[in-house]
Chains A and B, each alone.
Chain A
Amino acid sequence: MAIRRGRGVAAINYPTGMNLGGDPTQALVHSTPTGNFMVTLSSVDLGQGMKQIMAQICAETIGVPTDRVVVDTADTDTGPHCMGTFASRGTHRAGNAVIQAAREARQVMLEVAAEELEVNASDLETDGQGNILVKGAPQKSISIFDVALSAHFKRGRSISGRGMFLIPRSYPEKETGAMKPSTCYAHACTVAEVEVDDETGEVTVLTVKNVFEIGRALNPKMVEQQLVGGSWMGVSHALYETTEPYYPNRDHGGTDFNQYLMPGPGDLAQTEIIVLERPSADGPYGAKGPGEMCANPQIPAVANAVFDAVGVRIDTLPITPERILRALKAQASN
């Protein structure tokens, strides 16, 4: 009886957005009298930080710092339609809608600035700090604060825009299955290293090294929180979790966190995250949806590592000590 070590690899891809498309999201953007910007949506922030990302996307597109953007969302009386926050679609779908709305608002903002500066709007650029400058002559400038005041009280212009993003729905061909499930895919490759106690069947995950390709890391810190959380969830799925431990038998289902097994802090592996960026053709600033993908590759990587360690295949999830011991017993008797 011994502690045996093994490692396994898995590589995957994952579609962004609702499968087969047909899932619209709208956004509205407008400026306040002093040049702050409101983004209005009905999308839901599940705690993943959607509001923050929409603020950054709007700020980038308008050309102001992120803290000058406020996101109002998840209210059906004020926010235009969004299909919902699921299917790795929030950033991709709503982000594209916000860009379109922000571009329209930016155009009005530049037109008002052009009137104030007596130049063509096409000769203007933003400095990202809240100012609009004449290209090539940056000493000739006006603050967005003053542009918004002018638009509101002098020129009677609404600095606002509407955005809508829709991937047209694809219908699978009945006989061949020809279809367009998604327009862009995120990717991952994970290597997991485990120790398996061949006396108790217990698996300890030592390291999980994840490489994720996500299009564009719009906010690297938030990308990190989502990818690390996903990696933990994947390991948990591989080894612990089920509402029906003896499926298809319905008995013994957990009803609280004492009975429903999940890893605690002491069970978490050393987790490494490396991010590659291949911008997607239709993503907001190239972003793809990595929210679901990041919890998938750990499961087969751990399963393959268990085999590498003790030479038995557990092809049924979760990979419990009981299943490992039964497999080891069967292996020994063969």
Chain B
Amino acid sequence: MELRKSYFADQRKDDLHEIGQPRPRSDSPGHVTGKTAYFADRNFPGMLHLKMVRSPHHHARIRSIDISEAEKHPGVVKILTAKDVPHNVYTILILIQIGPEDETVLADGKVRWKGEAVVAVLAETERAAQEAAAKVKVDYEVLPAVFDMEEALKPGAPTVNEYHGRNYYLYDSGECRKVRFGDVEAGFAGADHVLEQTYQSSPIEHAPTETTGCIVVPEGNDRFTCYTNTQAMFFTLDNASIILQMPGNKLHFVGGTVGGGFGGKVDVIVEPIAILGAKLTGRPVSFIYSREEEMQISSPRAAEKVVIKDGVMNDGRIVARKVTGYTDAGAYSRHSPYGAQKGAGHYPGPYTIPNVWIDTYCVYTNRTPSSAMRGFGVTIGDFALEVQMDKLARLIGMDPLEFRFINAYRDGDMKAHRQPTEGAALIECMQEASRAANWPVAEKYLSMSSYAKGV
């Protein structure tokens, strides 16, 4: 890695003692010698293991659940169903007033994705829990499922989630988050070329080294200690408190070093049910995802579809950009309404465009609920935007890097969401990339600056 100190030198004082110094990480010797303690390194006498009975169907009504055989399985201590969960229907962003509550801790009457938790089995060993889970009999009536976002948005599509009553999230702005700036249709009408393209992604996995999990210990003082690898301690504690209808002062969350998160550990999934298990049995409970659960059950990055329509002039100026973004939330909201909205604030990318129209939709389908992941709401948008930029440059016969200089935002430029640009540095990154990659651009681009004109 190289630090290029020549850029923005006038905005920086290099007079610090500790900041800017490549100090060795105090925790890395522990990581590389195996001495760092993770939550699962603990073992408590009498600890039970929790395993989930999961839906084999994408969408089905639950006619009945029979746990009688499973209960008789050697080593089984307790079996939990929806009726055991005090506040079974929840949504995590309710803490920042983004509802409605739309997801069940344990399925109640219906499953909406293949893999959904239906029954929790607590047993003396992992093996006993797994074997007993296989003996739980659930009678399902399979329902039509919808997997494609376009299909889901059509009239007459199966309703994925009755708590929404429609297959998209309803924002205060309506069926999507909207940004309106200038007159996009006038921009297209006056453009030399108009290009509309569609981009698509598939869900991906966070792939942390350490899978999601927690261990809960009932303490002598009527409190519960939850050792967890959540990325957000109080967010998880407060949601657990709501789900369990248990005052927050009864809960003590202890984290530590986490073996990778990437956004995969901001859902509140394992902790509430494990705390409930510890409460109802009076014993420590361990609930740790297998690798298979981490990959197919825990939330992936959402699949997205992005439609971009641009008006561009032969001299390289983009005069209008319309973006329609669709985020596949799967069966439940989790963080997806936030992610789709974040996309609306991100488009049209780091470019100054006078006419912009943005709609971003959060769509429900019968698949594993998606949620946050590194680059949430932006990564797929950037893929779409930057491939589109390449296509536009080639359409007008311009060098792709020079084309970006022409449109790059600078300090003071008004963004589509009506904030003036501050602290821009795109131009300088491109100047340095031109040099580092030996990608020549005209001199006038190398003398540009992100600073406001005339400053």
Contacts and interface: CB of A to CB of B under 8 A. Distances in A.
Interface of A: 7-15, 19-20, 22, 42-47, 49, 51-52, 55-57, 59-60, 63, 65-67, 73-77, 79, 81-87, 128, 172, 174-182, 184-185, 187-191, 209, 211-213, 216-224, 227-228, 230, 233, 237, 241-245, 247-250, 253-257, 260, 262, 272-281, 285-286, 291-293, 295-297, 299-301, 303-304, 307, 313, 315-318
A295 B207 CA distance: 14
Which has the most chain B C-beta neighbours within 10 Å: A59, A175, A177? A177
6 contacts: A10-B390, A22-B96, A60-B18, A86-B263, A174-B172, A313-B391
A217 B96 contact: no
A212 to B, nearest CB: 7
B385 A300 contact: yes
Given A77-B252, A316-B200, A276 B7 contact: yes
B234 A81 contact: yes
Interface stretch (B44-52, B61-69, B128-136, B415-423): B415-423
Contacts of A87: 372, 376
B19 A85 contact: no
A328 B336 CA distance: 35
Q: Is the contact region of chain A dominated by helix, strand, or loop, or is it mixed?
A: loop
A296 B26 contact: no
Contact of B344 (A172, A189, A244): A172
A55 B251 CA distance: 28
B18 A65 contact: yes
Given A84-B235, A243-B204, A277-B3, A56 B18 contact: yes
Given A175-B180, A275-B1, A315-B200, A185 B433 contact: no
Contact of B374 (A56, A295, A297): A295
Contacts of B344: 172, 177
A255 B230 CA distance: 22
Contact of A256 (B255, B295, B374): B295
Nearest to A320: B202
A22 B338 CA distance: 13
Contacts, number: 408
Nearest to A182: B345
Given A177-B180, A189-B426, A221-B24, A19 B377 contact: yes
Contacts of A300: 382-383, 385-387, 390
A315 B257 contact: no
A149 to B, nearest CB: 23
A66 B17 CA distance: 9
A181 B418 CA distance: 10
Interface stretch (B76-84, B117-125, B162-170, B400-408): B400-408
Contact of A211 (B338, B376, B417, B429): B429
A309 B422 CA distance: 37
A61 to B, nearest CB: 9
Interface stretch (B8-16, B279-287, B312-320): B8-16
A184 B423 contact: yes
Interface in B145-193: 147-149, 172-174, 177-181
B433 A189 contact: yes
Given A51-B27, A176-B180, A300-B383, 18 more contacts: A12-B382, A19-B341, A87-B376, A172-B417, A176-B178, A176-B179, A179-B418, A179-B419, A187-B350, A237-B204, A243-B205, A247-B202, A250-B114, A276-B8, A277-B5, A303-B387, A304-B386, A318-B204
Contacts of B401: 9
Contacts of B433: 9, 11, 189-191, 209, 211
Contact of B18 (A128, A181, A223, A273): A128
A49 B200 contact: no
B128 to A, nearest CB: 22
A274 B341 contact: no
B404 A11 contact: yes
A291 B374 contact: yes
A51 B201 CA distance: 35
Given A191-B436, A222-B25, A293-B375, A254 B295 contact: yes
Interface string B267-296: 000000000000000000000000110011
Contacts of A44: 230-233, 255, 258, 261
Contact of A317 (B230, B300, B380, B386): B380
B440 interface: no
Given A47-B258, A291-B374, A187 B425 contact: yes
A128 B254 CA distance: 33
Given A10-B386, A296-B378, A299-B383, A278 B203 contact: no
Contact of A281 (B263, B346, B422): B422
B445 interface: no
A85 B372 CA distance: 12
Which has the most chain B C-beta neighbours within 10 Å: A44, A276, A300? A44
Interface in B314-362: 328, 338, 341-342, 344-346, 349-350, 358
A177 B172 CA distance: 11
Contact of B417 (A84, A179, A187, A188): A179
Lowest 3 CB-CB distances: which A-B pairs, in order?
A84-B232, A74-B255, A177-B179
Contact of B423 (A176, A222, A242, A280): A280
A219 B231 contact: no
Contacts of B20: 216-220
A79 B233 CA distance: 10
B40 interface: no
Contact of A15 (B24, B262, B346): B346
B75 interface: no
A36 B321 CA distance: 55
A179 B345 contact: yes
Contact of B266 (A77, A84, A223): A84
Nearest to A274: B2
A318 B19 CA distance: 39
Contacts of A262: 207
B423 A278 contact: yes
Contact of B383 (A182, A247, A303, A307): A303
